[in-house]
């Protein structure tokens, strides 16, 4: 089956649900059993079948199966948020005395979890240059259990050489955990590139409508129980409504991403001609520093990118952003609506120097590209008027 056919069919069994096209929302806490024998059979493996609401219902399982299939992994585990998927994955492989290598470009809350929680439990973290490739080898210590990659990086979009990093990590016995939210399961196939655990902030493109929080962990059979048991032990789970919304969003992911990307490309072409812009951070552009590896490993790009402004006083940036008509300011991304966000890369990293100044992240939504360009154009005019 080709990808667009799989995305329509993955995780769906209408014949098991009266012919209903979408997996229904099964809500549950209690699940009842007709005999002691069946009740006690779950003692051996409470994760195989419908046992208790916290471990998932058929709605959850449908989403887990669909994402695992699309990512090319064996098993999916749905979590209440993308961040929960990240923290449960890290906790599954780390214990007191261990060491983790984390890409310097990771999503901010991933960094906070390492610095504020893992540290408290005696796990040491080292941040590394995301562009390090197989040069990561000397950073791996005898107690390094996890190498965490995020490619391209949150906000700054460095493309990591994941196969090279994975090769070195595996030789030293560490697992590679990837935050694959940008590429989605469609544009980067983690398990074909040496990744052991892949995370989706399904909140973003998979849900696609800015109205649900959800994360999915995907892995191979070999690591499944380690992660599943960790999630169960700390009570991490996901809600069936959110899984339903993610399944619904998933069916249109492919066509939405095409449009997000086409619009992002148009915005980039226009931004390239603007004096205010120092440079653009978007691996799909041929001139981007990460383009070669992106082209080698990815099959597409969504509509999320950043650009670095030439030196501009904050009040001028504020004058631009405070009055945008179509680009709303807010966290998250991946919905149908365009978003804009200022950020300051220098403040977000500890292992790499970042010389560029104030930067702006754009999520190109599904609006008309010309309208979006006009909104940006008026924004730059306000910026210049405030100089
Ligand atoms: C938003 C985001 C997350 C976290 O997802 P939530 O569902 O908001 O918890 C993780 N990684 C990346 C790259 C993100 O952008």
pLDDT of residue 29 exceeding 90: yes
- Hey, how many other C-beta atoms are within 10 angstroms of the C-beta on 115? 14
Residue 81 Cβ < 6 Å to ligand 1: yes
What pLDDT sits at residue 345? 87
Mean pLDDT over residues 330-336, rounded? 96
Mean pLDDT of the chain: 97
How far is ligand 1, taken at its centre, from the CA of residue 286, in Å?
Answer: 27
What pLDDT sits at residue 380? 98
What pLDDT sits at residue 332? 94
What pLDDT sits at residue 366? 98
Pocket of ligand 1, candidates 107, 335, 361: which has the most ligand atoms within 8 Å of its Cβ, to mutate? Answer: 107
What pLDDT sits at residue 337? 98
What pLDDT sits at residue 203? 98
CA pair distance 225, 178, nearest whole angstrom: 18
What pLDDT sits at residue 221? 97
- Could you give the angle at which helices 369-385 and 253-272 cross, rounded to 10 degrees? 40
Residue 213 Cβ < 6 Å to ligand 1: yes
How far is ligand 1, taken at its centre, from the CA of residue 201, in Å?
Answer: 5
Mean pLDDT over residues 195-207, rounded? 98
Residue 201 Cβ < 6 Å to ligand 1: yes
How far is ligand 1, taken at its centre, from the CA of residue 213, in Å?
Answer: 9
Mean pLDDT over residues 367-372, rounded? 98
What pLDDT sits at residue 357? 83
Residue 22 Cβ < 6 Å to ligand 1: no
Give the number of the atom of ligand 1 that is nearest the alpha carbon of residue 332. Answer: 1
- pLDDT band per the 50, 70, 90 thresholds, residue 161: very high
How far is ligand 1, taken at its centre, from the CA of residue 34, in Å?
Answer: 41
- Hey, how many other C-beta atoms are within 10 angstroms of the C-beta on 75? 20
pLDDT tens across 41-71, in order?
998 889 989 999 999 999 999 999 999 999 9
76 near 61, Cβ under 8 Å? no
What pLDDT sits at residue 347? 84
| Per-residue tokens: 350 | 């500890």
How far is ligand 1, taken at its centre, from the CA of residue 289, in Å?
Answer: 24
- pLDDT band per the 50, 70, 90 thresholds, residue 285: very high
pLDDT of residue 346 exceeding 90: no
Pocket of ligand 1, candidates 201, 215, 238, 242: which has the most ligand atoms within 8 Å of its Cβ, to mutate? Answer: 201
pLDDT of residue 227 exceeding 90: yes
What pLDDT sits at residue 189? 98
The phi and psi torsions of 101 (rounded to 5 degrees) equal -105, 125
- Strand ranges in 251-290 using DSSP code E only, listed in sequence order: 277-281
With 0-12 CB in 10 A as exposed, 13-18 as middle and 19+ as buried, what is 130?
Answer: buried
Q: How far is CA 361 from CA 106, 151, 233, 273, in A?
A: 15, 16, 37, 18
pLDDT of residue 305 exceeding 90: yes
Residue 83 Cβ < 6 Å to ligand 1: yes
Rounded percentage of the chain residues whose pLDDT exceeds 70: 100
Protein residue whose Cα sits closest to atom 2 of ligand 1: 201
**DSSP category for residue 113:** I
- Please name the residues in contact with 123: beta carbons below 8 A apart, sequence gap of 6 or more: 94, 95, 96, 97, 98, 99, 100, 114
Residue 179 Cβ < 6 Å to ligand 1: yes
- pLDDT band per the 50, 70, 90 thresholds, residue 81: very high
Residue 181 Cβ < 6 Å to ligand 1: yes
Among 21-30, 210-219, 233-242, 339-348, the least confident range: 339-348
What pLDDT sits at residue 356? 82
How far is ligand 1, taken at its centre, from the CA of residue 203, in Å?
Answer: 7
């Amino acid at each position: 089956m080709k990808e667009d056919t799989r995305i329509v069919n993955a995780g769906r069994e209408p014949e098991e649900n009266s012919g209903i096209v979408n997996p229904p929302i099964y809500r549950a806490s209690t699940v009842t059993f007709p005999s002691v024998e069946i009740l006690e059979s779950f003692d051996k493996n409470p994760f195989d079948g419908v046992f208790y609401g916290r471990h998932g219902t058929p709605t959850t399982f449908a989403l887990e199966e669909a994402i695992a299939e699309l990512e090319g992994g064996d098993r999916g585990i749905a979590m209440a948020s993308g961040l929960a998927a990240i923290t449960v994955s890290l906790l599954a492989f780390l214990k007191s005395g261990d060491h983790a290598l984390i890409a310097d470009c990771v999503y901010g809350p991933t960094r906070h979890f390492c610095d504020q929680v893992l540290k408290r439990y005696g796990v040491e973290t080292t941040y590394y240059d995301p562009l390090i490739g197989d040069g990561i080898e000397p950073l791996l210590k005898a107690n390094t259990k996890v190498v965490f990659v995020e490619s391209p990086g949150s906000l700054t979009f460095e493309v990591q050489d994941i196969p090279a990093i994975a090769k070195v990590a595996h030789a030293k016995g560490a697992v590679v955990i990837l935050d694959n939210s940008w590429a989605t399961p469609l544009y980067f196939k983690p398990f074909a590139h040496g990744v052991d655990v892949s995370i989706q902030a399904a909140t973003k493109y998979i849900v696609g409508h800015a109205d649900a929080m959800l994360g999915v962990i995907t892995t191979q059979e070999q690591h499944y129980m380690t992660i599943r048991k960790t999630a169960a032990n700390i009570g991490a789970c996901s809600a069936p409504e959110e899984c339903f919304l993610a399944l619904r969003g998933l069916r249109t992911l492919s066509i939405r991403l095409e449009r997000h990307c086409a619009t992002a490309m148009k915005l980039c072409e226009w931004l390239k001609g603007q004096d205010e812009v120092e440079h653009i951070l978007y691996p799909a552009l041929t001139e981007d520093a990460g383009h070669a590896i992106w082209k080698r490993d990815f099959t597409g790009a969504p509509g999320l990118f950043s650009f670095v402004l030439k030196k501009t006083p904050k009040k001028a940036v504020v004058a631009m952003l405070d009055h945008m008509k179509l680009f709303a300011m807010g966290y998250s991304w991946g919905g149908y609506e365009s978003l804009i966000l200022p950020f300051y890369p220098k403040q977000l990293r500890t292992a790499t120097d970042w010389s560029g100044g104030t930067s702006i992240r754009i999520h190109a939504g599904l609006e008309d590209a010309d309208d979006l360009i006009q909104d940006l154009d008026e924004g730059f005019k306000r910026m210049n008027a405030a100089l």
